[in-house]
Structure 1
Amino acid sequence: MSKTVFLVADGMAGWPLDILGGRTSLHAASTPTLDLLAPKSRCGLCRTVPHGMPPGSDVANMSLLGYDPQTHHTGRGPIEAAAQGLTLDQDDLVWRMNLVRLTELTDAGVMLDYSAGHISTPEAAPLVARLADMAGGTPFQAVQGIQYRHLLVQRGGALTDAAELAIRPPHDILDQNIAQDLTAYASFPEMLAFLQTAHEYLRAETTSEATSVWPWGQGRPLELPAFAERFGLRGAVVSAVDLVKGLGRAAGMEVLEVPGANGLIDTNYEGKVEAALDFLQRGEFVYVHVEAPDECGHMGDAALKKRAIELFDQRIVAPILAALAHEDATIVVTCDHFTPVARRTHTEDPVPFLIYRTQAPRTDGPNVFNEDTAKGAGLFINDGRELLTFCLGPDA
């Protein structure tokens, strides 16, 4: 049976930069494998973020997996809770909780770092454990995740005003004032009290760069129709981040764990490839997600983002292509959203993609693969959830 592989470089697309001679990081990167595939592929743009929804990886990856975020998305936190298999009630509210670095937790405070210096999981674990202890007797339960990405479960919170709090994602407000978010937190006093307690503890704790927690992306528990029933395919996801793992687990897909996969530029690329190819011996669809280009975009580092894209080409796309070259396979390369270095956050621009069929290569694709050539190819998919269906059909 034919195999389908989605290779997703999170945040790979971006905007032109003077420092790169008017090119994007993708355009400037050395990507011989992508450029080899482009002339033989169907290329185009896809709108992964529906109008009116925030351009986050939660929304965009849900679209790429074939689900309508406007129907199924409840929040960032619930997706990551699904990754951990948490037992939740339908009235619980689940928050994504970042460890962050603030100047101070006052109206004069500024968000300095959404990741607390990309804190490691071993560094974060005792901090979150202590926060969990401190939350005893409150409606909140702190749950450890990985690196800076953790959860805060608010029992019965969906029935409270906290469900409506409008808190900005911390990666969207780097070097910005946090006053409007504190005003929102203050409208639910129990949340503000937890924030203040956490801030006092973390500020006194000198073993890491974390000075506060930042709950956001709250929602009720996630439910998705089974991927196998929806598409008739046995599917799996490979990722370092709980967001993608949660989408996969909620959809009944296999979640392939890879030692050393960390969401950064030094992730275990070979382990991800090995896990994907091993799964394709028994399944038909695998979604391989690489976080590094997005993290580099948030850092505002054009050269590092360029390098992350080169590593994606060399150590993900190239070996997958080599392994499947003589199989009946469809290889799709794309990203979930733009993460322009100049913005240091996500935008809702339609993303470039290529679709390569190993047994039916095209001859009319662009010479190279980047944002401009994908746009120039003339194919536009306005509803992100339809990209997967399109790739499985005869016209791709």
Structure 2
Amino acid sequence: MKYIVVLGDGMADRDIKELGNKTILDVAKKPNIDGLKGIMGMVKTVPDTLKPGSDVANLAVMGYNPLECYTGRSPLEAVSIGIKMKDSDVAIRCNLVTLSDEEDIKKRKMIDYSAGEISTDEAKELIKAVEEALGDSEFKFYPGISYRHCLIWDKGQTGLNLTPPHDISDRVVGEYLPNNDKIFNLMERSYDILKNHPVNTKRIKEGKNPANSIWLWGEGTKPRIENFYKKTGLKGAVISAVDLIKGIGISAGMESIDVEGATGTLDTNYKGKLEAAKKTLLKDGNDFVYIHLEGPDECGHHGDIEGKILAVERIDKNIVGPLCKELRDAGEDFAMLIMPDHPTPIETKTHSSDPIPFKIYRSNAEKGSVEVYSEKNAAKGGIFIEDGYTLLSKFINNTL
């Protein structure tokens, strides 16, 4: 038996006026997902005492209780980049963002939390410039993917209450700036380093948003996550373009599979992810694969209704349908869990702690009904799992 989690990041939503008070999942054309004869229910992936980040939510979906193992987002991303953290280190997520150009940083607006989803090659040049100007024995900047990078603070502080930039899109940043003088100083100085950098001069000429500042958030200490094989008895792999998800997998002793052209956006390399999933399950001997697709979340953060619908439809067409066919053609029994990690509602453009819908299909024991996979239909099923981290074991052990 092979086990697959198809994770459409942020694809759950609330009723949208422009869609006739329906959700993205209500209206998206997804015949492969809807056509699976499986069971549906609702699950709460984010405990009430934690913020609804993809870090907390994906830990829960992977079967880990975030209340016990969560030490912060950026340490998981640091693992993915290959950073060897000391116990005394604090890792901090370093976004490249686009701020408006007021002289006083407190009056600037968060124009774009991803700097136009800047390319990794461009971003590396900018982070190199930041490291050369601001890096020292206390602070070191490491390049990641696209707009997502990492700062390691030697003997640093936690509990800084830093704000994710995607939570303040289109807002003046003054009240969200850090109270810590050292972190504030790094962010403030970065603007002067980046605003006239040749990479940004070129981007502006091309009509793109410049990555004119860093934004620091998501701090934490070295992660502590139980080995996935020891926990479940399954050899597992993760397929994602996002450092966070790679870091969770690596920290859990899973294989992290890199796919060329995987971007974490609507236009990611779906074919490459599909081929990687087929190979890891049918040739490389892995029993479990976690396929993470970031597109719906990115569109949700931008308030892009049509883009988010398209992201869900592409997951259905390019991942779920062909992967099910390949496994059936290979004569392989499989179970598939389809779900988001959290909602990213169009109306708020940020994450929510609302419960999310899941669907479970088993090729050798079909049960339930063929029904549109949506928040409303999943809620009607009567299954509600309060502790989201328990869903994975129920899925693996077929106890729902």
Q: What TM-score range do you get, normalising by the shorter chain? A: over 0.9
Deviations 1:191-224 (A, max 9, x none): 2222222111112222341121001000101121
Shift of 1:366: 5.4
Counterpart mapping for 1:286-305 below 5 A: 286-305=289-308
| Alignment correspondent of 1:195 | 187
In 1, the alpha carbon distance for the partners of 2:23 and 2:182 equals 44
Shift of 1:175: 1.3
Query: What letter corresponds to residue 261 of structure 1 in structure 2?
Result: A
In 2, the alpha carbon distance for the partners of 1:311 and 1:245 equals 22
Q: Does 1:44 align with 2:55?
A: no
Whether the 8 Å CA contact 1:7–1:289 is kept in 2: the answer is yes
| Alignment correspondent of 1:276 | 277
| Alignment correspondent of 2:206 | none
Shift of 1:129: 0.7
| Alignment correspondent of 1:249 | 250
Counterpart mapping for 1:349-368 below 5 A: 349-362=354-367, 364-365=368-369, 367-368=371-372
Shift of 1:138: 5.2
Shift of 1:233: 0.6
SS where residue 131 of structure 2 aligns?
helix
Whether the 8 Å CA contact 1:352–1:371 is kept in 2: the answer is yes
Whether the 8 Å CA contact 2:71–2:224 is kept in 1: the answer is no
Q: Does 1:84 align with 2:81?
A: yes
In 1, the alpha carbon distance for the partners of 2:13 and 2:370 equals 19
Shift of 1:19: 1.2
In 2, the alpha carbon distance for the partners of 1:95 and 1:131 equals 15
Root-mean-square deviation (CA, aligned residues, Å) is 1.2
Query: What letter corresponds to residue 71 of structure 1 in structure 2?
Result: E
Moved >4 Å (runs of 4+): none
| Alignment correspondent of 2:310 | 307
Query: What letter corresponds to residue 385 of structure 1 in structure 2?
Result: Y
The farther-off stretch of 17-26 and 145-154 is: 17-26
| Alignment correspondent of 2:353 | 348
Shift of 1:177: 2.2
In 2, the alpha carbon distance for the partners of 1:373 and 1:190 equals 49
Shift of 1:35: 1.2
The farther-off stretch of 254-263 and 197-206 is: 197-206
Whether the 8 Å CA contact 1:365–1:377 is kept in 2: the answer is no
Whether the 8 Å CA contact 1:102–1:212 is kept in 2: the answer is yes
In 1, the alpha carbon distance for the partners of 2:135 and 2:290 equals 39
| Alignment correspondent of 2:159 | 164
Q: Normalising by structure 2, what TM-score? A: 0.94
| Alignment correspondent of 1:337 | 342
Counterpart mapping for 1:8-87 below 5 A: 8-37=7-36, 40-87=37-84
Shift of 1:180: 2.3
Query: What letter corresponds to residue 106 of structure 1 in structure 2?
Result: I
> Any gaps of 5 or more consecutive residues in structure 2?
204-209
1:175 to 161, 166, 170: 170
Counterpart mapping for 1:201-280 below 5 A: 201-205=193-197, 206-208=201-203, 209-280=210-281
SS where residue 202 of structure 2 aligns?
coil
Whether the 8 Å CA contact 1:259–1:268 is kept in 2: the answer is yes
The farther-off stretch of 134-143 and 67-76 is: 134-143
Shift of 1:242: 0.4
SS where residue 332 of structure 1 aligns?
strand
Shift of 1:18: 1.7
Whether the 8 Å CA contact 1:77–1:217 is kept in 2: the answer is yes
Pair 188,395 (structure 1): closer, same or farther in 2 beyond 3 Å: closer
Query: What letter corresponds to residue 183 of structure 2 in structure 1?
Result: M
Whether the 8 Å CA contact 2:337–2:361 is kept in 1: the answer is yes
Shift of 1:378: 0.7
Deviations 1:91-145 (A, max 9, x none): 1110001001112452222211100111111111100011111123351111000
Pair 166,394 (structure 1): closer, same or farther in 2 beyond 3 Å: closer
Shift of 1:71: 1.0
SS where residue 207 of structure 1 aligns?
helix
Overall identity of the aligned pairs, in %: 41
The farther-off stretch of 52-61 and 17-26 is: 17-26
Query: What letter corresponds to residue 181 of structure 1 in structure 2?
Result: Y
| Alignment correspondent of 1:115 | 114
Whether the 8 Å CA contact 2:135–2:141 is kept in 1: the answer is no
Whether the 8 Å CA contact 2:183–2:216 is kept in 1: the answer is no
Deviations 1:332-372 (A, max 9, x none): 1111000111111110111111100001101x335211111
Whether the 8 Å CA contact 1:57–1:336 is kept in 2: the answer is yes
1:319 to 309, 317, 322: 322
Task: Give the number of aligned pairs.
Answer: 385
SS where residue 299 of structure 2 aligns?
helix
Query: What letter corresponds to residue 194 of structure 1 in structure 2?
Result: L
Deviations 1:258-305 (A, max 9, x none): 111001111111111111111113011100000001001111010110
